[in-house]
Amino acid sequence: MADLGFVGLGIMGKPMAGHLLAAGHTVHIYDLVADNIQLVAQAGGRPCSSSKEIAQKSTLIFIMVPDTPDVEAVLFGKDGLADGLKSGSIVVDMSSISPLATKEFAKRLGARGVKMLDAPVSGGQVGAKKGTLSIMVGGPVDVFEQVKPVFELLGKNILHIGDHGAGQTCKVANQIVVALTIEAVSEALVFASKAGVDPMKVRAALLGGSAQSRILDLHGERMIQRNFTPGFRIRLHQKDLNLAQQSARSMGISLPNTAMAQELFNAVAAQGGIDLDHSAMVLALEKLAQHKVSG
């Protein structure tokens, strides 16, 4: 089995690294939070003191961190991967970041003889734990084929989208759909509940028809049960919608409903809910309606 590296052991990274370990790989691990390293070390991960050390000990390295500046720091910051990468190594960034920055990172790594894939995921904490993530990949096809057997340990729907940055563009599109669907489910459940109808029964009925969706199933239940423990935090979805709006401006196109969804996230964040699950968007609509879905 190959020696792998994994940087970023948060809500998503921790179970993902666990799947690699369970498959028999040696996995060198690093995170800024010592407790996260310790938890994965208990499952067999080999702790490292920096991203640089990860690069020195691994030739296939995965990154799963929150945002574009975090990826840049992992790659090119002090004691970053670039300080220890060997020519011929492969870096797979599974974070959700700027497509434009991704292209620049790939260019900089390529100048060092290092190959890169951008491979953001969808499926949230549940998908990470079950190994059922959707993985959307940008980069050279031959590198994708080389890494695909490892991707198959992490996800079920694994697609090569295009060149560097294409995976990130696909992920931004995914986040637009998810945000707008959360908004639609929120509106529907607030409407039904305010009308005096049991929202759980409405949800069950809708799941059997054309309105069926994973968001209605999982996040609709969260809204009704008031379970906003984060699987995917509002602050991270705000970041992704910012990427969508920035890209839209650069292309000269309008994303009006994406902007509206962002404003609803902003409203929840202003009420102190920035670290709640993104299904908590419903709180903004409940405030407008002066009515709680569960009530």
CA distance 175 to 234: 12
Q: Write down the pLDDT at residue 95.
A: 97
Q: Is the dihedral of CA 214, 216, 222, 225 positive or negative?
A: negative
Q: Write down the pLDDT at residue 187.
A: 98
Q: Write down the pLDDT at residue 158.
A: 98
Q: Write down the pLDDT at residue 231.
A: 86
N- to C-terminal Cα separation, the chain = 54
Largest interatomic CA distance in the chain: 64
Angle between helix 282-289 and 256-268 (nearest 10): 80
**Is residue 37 within a helix (H) or strand (E), and if so which, with residue range?**
helix 34-41
The tokens describing 39, both together, are: 């938890």
Per-residue pLDDT of the chain (295 residues; tens, 9 = 90+): 568 999 999 999 999 999 999 999 999 999 999 999 999 999 999 999 999 999 999 999 999 999 999 999 999 999 999 999 999 999 999 999 999 999 999 999 999 999 999 999 999 888 999 999 999 999 999 999 999 999 999 999 999 999 999 999 999 999 999 999 999 999 999 999 999 999 999 999 999 999 999 999 999 999 999 999 998 999 999 999 999 999 999 999 999 999 999 999 999 999 999 999 999 999 999 999 999 997 5
Q: Is the dihedral of CA 228, 152, 82, 250 positive or negative?
A: negative
Of 81, 77, 57, which Cα lies nearest the Cα of 69? 77
The one catalytic residue in 86, 130, 171, 287 is 171
Q: What angle do CA 97, 100, 103 make, to 5 degrees?
A: 95
Specify whether 156 is catalytic: no
Buried b (16+ CB within 10 A) or exposed e, 25-38: bbbbbbbeeeebbe
Percent helix, percent strand, percent coil in the chain, to nearest 5: 55, 15, 30
Q: Write down the pLDDT at residue 295.
A: 56
